Every structure is written in structure tokens, then in C-alpha cells.
Structure 1
Amino acid sequence: MYVSEWENGKRTISDRYAEILRRLLGATDAELRGGGNAAAVPMTDGYDELLSRIDSASSVSESMVATLNDQTELLRTMDRQMGASGLVDQMTGHLARLEDALNFAVLPSARRPVALALVGASTLAAWQAIDSGAIERAWRHYELAKRAARDAESPTHLAHAMAEQAYVLCEAGRPALGVELVRDAHRILGTSGSARLRAWLYAAEAELCAHVSELEDDCRRALDAAMATIPPGSEERDPDVASLFLNTAHLSRWQGNVLALLGDGDAVTSLYDALKVVDPTFVRAKAGLHTDLAQAHLARAEYDDANTHLKQARLLASRTGSVRQRRRVDLLSERL
């Protein structure tokens, strides 16, 4: 009688019976009590449900993957214009759908496109988490991205996810370890990947080296390598890694950021050049650029100029809800 009432949701499973059923059925407590409904109890062998999930995953067509990638692109656009704070629920649901599709896809031909879509979505979610100050969540998303990249057998996407994950280490106070992770990413990439991605890896290495006092020479060498590797022209998007935007103008801003971290007076010129050409839709990036300019002016003891840019940076950081940028602004404000 109890079993019937459990199945029909008329009676909840008590702790006493739950302990007995867990041992008898080999079920977890969550499976037993799922949704307050004993229908979650695996009274059958579960093969029908499994095969249904597998069939659903195998039916994910190229057009469906394209739709999922379009959703990621929409979330990416919303993120760079409005910030990550309002997108947490949407990103969580989007990742869950992609991960579920990958978990039940069987053959490599079905898994690879879904895995690549999951890499793009999870690295975006991870960067949003960094911006929101949710460091552990960011780390977990990057681990998911790396697993998906390995599943897709893509050293390009694996290297990019590893190098972005290095920023989590830097934010957590371990920039030297982050440098090693970026260098490992470069070794994994090898001779594959685009020149744009290789330039991005060099620039990321330079930025992380700038946070380690004894690596200033390495920082400048990596920065020079990035400038020598970036393809000419205004094209900014990488052909393989959808989340990677980098051209000479972007790299000029990045160079200014790195030089500002080193306290180099030449940073100001690079940063003002970048400010003239920054895409107005990259609101968070513009906030970072004003923060970089404030840091560069502080290094030259130009406090009025630094204060002007800090005010603009604070305004833009608040507009996008960027915890990361607001933290930078607050730390620099203490030096005025």
C-alpha cells in the first residue's frame, strides 16, 4: 500500500523507509525524493528513459546546434553591452541544455558539434562569473569547457579555455601559477590555431607576467611577440574561437594595460590611441580602458587626469554591474 501511495504522491517517504529503499534499490536520496514524488524511485530498470534521452540527443541536428550557438551569441552581445549580472539564469539554463545534449550523445559525429557549442557557452559563462566576482563558479565553468574541448578533440579551444582560466588564478592571487597555465596552453596549441589566437595567448601571458614582479622581462618579451604575431587589418574576430576578438587596435589597448601594470609611462599613449577606436558596444571593455588610463596617469603622478578617468570607469562599471572593474576602481581610488 505504501508503494502505491509513494508512486501517486499521496505519501512522502519517511527517513526510516528512505534508508531501507536506498539500500534495496541502490538509489540516491535525491532519486527517491525527487520533486517530492515517489515516481522518481527507480521501480523499473530505467532503460526506456535512457534510450529516450539517447534518441533525443542523436536527433540534435546541425540546424539545432546552429540555433544553440546563436543563443550563445545573443547572450555574448547582451553581456558586453549590459553586463553579466542579469544573465545568470539564462546562462545556467543554456549550459544545462547543452551539457544534457552532450551527456547523451553517443557517436563522435554527434558529440563534436555539441561539445564545441558547449565550449563557447561555458567559457562565456565563466568570464561572466569572473566579472561578477564568482570565482569558484568561473573555475567550474572553465573545467567544463576544457572537458568539452577534449571531447571535441580541439587543441584550439582547449588552449583558449586554459588561458582564460589562468585569469581566475590571477584574480585569486596566484598570477605566477596562471603564467604557467598560459604557457601550457601555448604548448598544447603548438603550430595549430590561428595567428590571432597565438597573439592573444602571448598578450595574456604578458598581462599575467605583469602581476609578477620578477617576470617583467618575460612580460615585455611576450608583449613584443603578441605585437609581432597579430594579423594586420581591422578584422577582429577569430575564425575558430567565436569569443575571441582581437585586432591591432584591441592589442594596442591591451599593450597599454600591461604597460600601466608595469608603471611604464608609455602606457598613456597606447591607451589614448585605443580609446579613439574602441567599439562603443563593448561597454565593459571601455570601463576597463578608462581604469587602465587612470592607472597609467597615477604612475605619472597626474592625479587630476587619473580622477577623471576613474569617475568614467566607475560609471561604466556600475552600468554593467562589473564587480571586477569596480574592485579595480576602488583600489586605484585609494591611491588618490
Structure 2
Amino acid sequence: MYISEWENEKRSISDRYAVILRQLLGVTDPELRGNPSTATPLTADGYDELLSRIDTASSISDSMVQAFNDQTELFRTMDRQMGAATLVDQMTGHLARLEDALSFAVLPSTRRPVALALAGASTLAAWQAIDSGAIERAWRHYELAKKAARDAEAPMYLAHAMAEQAYVLCEAGRPALGVELVRNAQRALGRNGSPRLWAWLRAAEAEMCAHAGEPGDCWRALDAAAACIPPGNEARDPDMLSIFLNASHLARWRGNVLALLGDEEAVTSLYEALEVADPTFVRARAGMHVDLAQAHLARAEHDEATNHLRQARLLASRTGSVRQRRRIDLLSVR
């Protein structure tokens, strides 16, 4: 009697019977209760649905992969100008579609381009989560990015995801572990990688070393980054679209690291970087003002520090950056 009523939706399945039925039928609770978002038909012809999804995934064309990448690029542009807070739902849906496409792609020739697109999108989503203060979400996105990069056989994307994940450790108060993770990323890259990516990895190592209180290693990493950076004003790495780094960007990064070390040179480096900074990198400008406030405080120049904290707070509020607001609050009490 109950079975007939369950099948005809005249009676809902109680938790007591759900436990028994899940074990008998070998299904999950959403599948048993018919949750439309995750349910699979409790019939032998579920293979039809599986094959349909495999066929759909196998038909993903180069133009469809490019559409995925174009959407990631749009989110990247919106993120640096407007912040991550308004993009959470869009990024979640974007990652879900990419994951779904990868899950049902069978052959490597189909999987690799989708996996590469997922690696790039996941890394962006992870950095947005860091900026929003969602540390566990950031960590999980980086794990997804690393898995996708391995699936895509893309050592540059793997190294980048590993090194960015070090920032989660640093934010959580484990900068020394972050240093080791960045160095592991460099070892994983081996002889591969573009000069711009190597400059980025060395600069990330320098920042982690500064947080970990390792000034000697920090300076060596900064020098190595400067030696790797290609000449010219071009910032975008054609082989790694998530990397924006030229001499001007590196000067800003160097100023940030020197401010962490309390070095006198930080102020000069940061003002030079601020003068030539791309105005569309709104969150990055907020970070520069925070760095300048920190550098001025190290020199006991409190009026200048207060002015930069005020500007940083305005920009951080504009982009909704929890990470930058946390930095501002920490410096405001000094």
C-alpha cells in the first residue's frame, strides 16, 4: 500500500522508511525523493540519460569552449573593476556548467580543452572567494583548479593554482607553509612555463617570505622576479591569460613586499607604481593605498598613512573587498 502511494505521490517517504529504501535500492536521498536538481530515474533505462549526456559532452566544439573562456574573461574584467561580491551566483553557475561538461566528456581530445577552461575559471573563482573572505570556498576552488589542470595536462595552470592557493594559507596565518607550497609549484613547473609566469611565481614567493619573516629569501626572490620579467609594457601572458604582469605591475608588487618588510624604499616604489597604474584595476589600487599606508606608518608618517587609508577604504567599499577592508582595519588601530 505504501509503495503505491509513494509512486503516485500520495504519500511522502518518511525518514524512517527512507533509510531502509536507500539501502535496498542503492540510491542517494535526493534520487529517492525525486529532487529534480540531482535525481536519476529509478529505472533500468537510466543508461539512456547517461548516454545522452555523454553525447552532448562529446559534441562540445572549439567554439563552445571559446564561449566558456569568453565568459570567464568577462567575469575577470568585471571582478577587477567592480569586485567579486556581485559575481558569486554567476561564477557558481559558470563552474557548474564546466564541471558538468567535463564529467561526461569521455575522450582526452574532448576533456583537455574543457578541463583547461575549468582550471582558469576555478582559479578566478578562488581568488574572488579570498577577496570575499570565503576562505574554505577558495580552498575548494583551488583544489578543483589543480584537478582540472592535471586533467588538461597543463603544468602552467597547475603551478599557478598551487601558488595562488598559498595565499589561503597566508591569510589563515600559515605563511611558512605558503612559502613551501609556492616552491613546490615552481618545482612542479620544472623547465616549463613562460618568463612572465616565472616572474609571477618568484614575486609570490617573495611575498610569502615577507609574511613568514624571511627577509633574505624575500630579497633573492624579488631579484629573481625582476630578472624573469619580459621587457615592454605588455602585461598579459598569452600562454596564461590569468597573469597580468609587466615591470610596472612588478614595481607595485615589490612595493607591497617592501612595505611588509618595513623597508624605506617601499614608499618610493609604491608612488611610482601608483602613477602608472591601470585605472581599471580598482581593487589593485585599493591594495596600493593600503601598502602606502603601511609604508608611511613604518616611517611614523601618520598623516600620510591616514590619507591613504581613507582612499583605500573608499575603493574597498566600491569593490566590496573583505580582504582589503580587513587590512585597513588592522592598520587603522596602529
TM-score (norm 2): 0.97
- Distance in 2 (alpha carbons) for counterparts of 1:205 and 1:22: 49
> Structure 1 pair 258/10, CA: closer, same or farther in 2 (3 Å)?
same
- Distance in 1 (alpha carbons) for counterparts of 2:95 and 2:124: 10
Residue 313 of structure 2 is matched in structure 1 by: 314
Give the CA deviation at 1:41: 5.1
Residue 284 of structure 1 is matched in structure 2 by: 283
Q: Does 1:118 align with 2:118?
A: yes
Q: Does 1:25 align with 2:35?
A: no
Q: Which amino acid aligns with 2:198?
A: R
Q: Which amino acid aligns with 1:69?
A: N
Q: Does 1:198 align with 2:198?
A: yes
* 2:30–2:39 contact (8 Å) kept in structure 1: no
Q: Does 1:186 align with 2:183?
A: no
Residue 146 of structure 1 is matched in structure 2 by: 146
User: Residue by residue, what CA displacement relative to the aligned partner does 1:21-54 show, whole Å, maximum 9, x if unpaired?
Assistant: 2122111112111328997552335211111111
* 1:317–1:325 contact (8 Å) kept in structure 2: yes
> Structure 1 pair 204/66, CA: closer, same or farther in 2 (3 Å)?
same
- Once the two structures are superposed, the pairs formed by residues 242-257 of structure 1 within 5 Å of their partners are 242-257=241-256
* 1:179–1:209 contact (8 Å) kept in structure 2: yes
- Distance in 2 (alpha carbons) for counterparts of 1:179 and 1:161: 14
Q: Which amino acid aligns with 2:317?
A: S
* 2:6–2:13 contact (8 Å) kept in structure 1: yes
Q: Does 1:81 align with 2:81?
A: yes
* 1:253–1:289 contact (8 Å) kept in structure 2: yes
Residue 168 of structure 1 is matched in structure 2 by: 168
* 1:8–1:37 contact (8 Å) kept in structure 2: no
> Aligned pairs, how many?
334
Q: Alignment partner of 2:227: what SS?
A: helix
Q: Which amino acid aligns with 1:256?
A: G
Q: Alignment partner of 1:280: what SS?
A: coil
- Distance in 2 (alpha carbons) for counterparts of 1:37 and 1:261: 47
TM-score (norm 1): 0.96
Q: Does 1:64 align with 2:64?
A: yes
- Once the two structures are superposed, the pairs formed by residues 296-335 of structure 1 within 5 Å of their partners are 296-335=295-334
- Distance in 1 (alpha carbons) for counterparts of 2:67 and 2:168: 30
Give the CA deviation at 1:334: 0.7
Q: Does 1:103 align with 2:103?
A: yes
Q: Alignment partner of 1:296: what SS?
A: helix
Q: Alignment partner of 1:244: what SS?
A: strand
Q: Which amino acid aligns with 1:227?
A: A
Q: Which amino acid aligns with 1:82?
A: M
Give the CA deviation at 1:5: 4.3
User: Residue by residue, what CA displacement relative to the aligned partner does 1:231-281 show, whole Å, maximum 9, x if unpaired?
Assistant: 010000111211110000000000000000000010011100100111111
> Structure 1 pair 4/36, CA: closer, same or farther in 2 (3 Å)?
farther
Q: Alignment partner of 2:206: what SS?
A: helix
- Distance in 2 (alpha carbons) for counterparts of 1:131 and 1:167: 11
Please tell me the root mean square deviation across aligned C-alpha atoms, in Å.
1.6
Give the CA deviation at 1:2: 4.5
Q: Which amino acid aligns with 1:98?
A: L
Give the CA deviation at 1:16: 3.4
Q: Alignment partner of 2:239: what SS?
A: coil
Give the CA deviation at 1:3: 4.3
Q: Does 1:156 align with 2:156?
A: yes
Q: Which amino acid aligns with 2:246?
A: N
Q: Which amino acid aligns with 2:15?
A: D
Residue 52 of structure 1 is matched in structure 2 by: 52
Q: Which amino acid aligns with 2:254?
A: Q
> Structure 1 pair 7/41, CA: closer, same or farther in 2 (3 Å)?
farther
- Distance in 2 (alpha carbons) for counterparts of 1:311 and 1:39: 51
Q: Does 1:34 align with 2:21?
A: no
State the identity as a percent: 78
5+ residue gaps, structure 2, are none
* 1:249–1:277 contact (8 Å) kept in structure 2: yes
- Distance in 2 (alpha carbons) for counterparts of 1:227 and 1:108: 38
